[in-house]
Amino acid sequence: MACGAKNEDPCEYFIWIDPPMCERAEQVIPGLLRRINGNAEEVFLLGLKLLYLHLLLHIVGQKLHCFSSPINHKITKE
């Protein structure tokens, strides 16, 4: 229902009343929410691991590049 009299502009405030949930829904929904929250935490931690491995790969790649640089390898022909 919108507030305000019939001739006035509504204030865009609505009252929403949800009907009560059945007993089974009250048992199932909290478990589903816990599972979703647990999955979100796992996704976050896997993202952190991926970032760590990406940075580690970048650092190792730079070190390997330094070792394979032509400046560090002096090849002499005999």
Provide the residue count of the chain: 78
Among residues of the chain, what percentage have pLDDT more than 70?
A: 71
CB atoms inside a 10 Å sphere around CB 61: 10
Render pLDDT for 41-68 as a digit per residue (tens, 0 to 9). Answer: 999 999 999 999 999 998 888 877 776 6
User: Which whole-number Å values give the CA distances from 7 to 1, 10, 61, in the listed order?
Assistant: 15, 9, 72
| Structure confidence at residue 65 (pLDDT) | 73
Of 36, 17, 40, the C-alpha closest to 28 is: 36
Q: Rounded mean pLDDT of 5-29? A: 81
pTM for the model stands at 0.47
Integer Cα distance of 52 and 45 in angstroms: 11
- Extents of the domains making up the chain: 32-70
Q: Rounded mean pLDDT of 19-24? A: 93
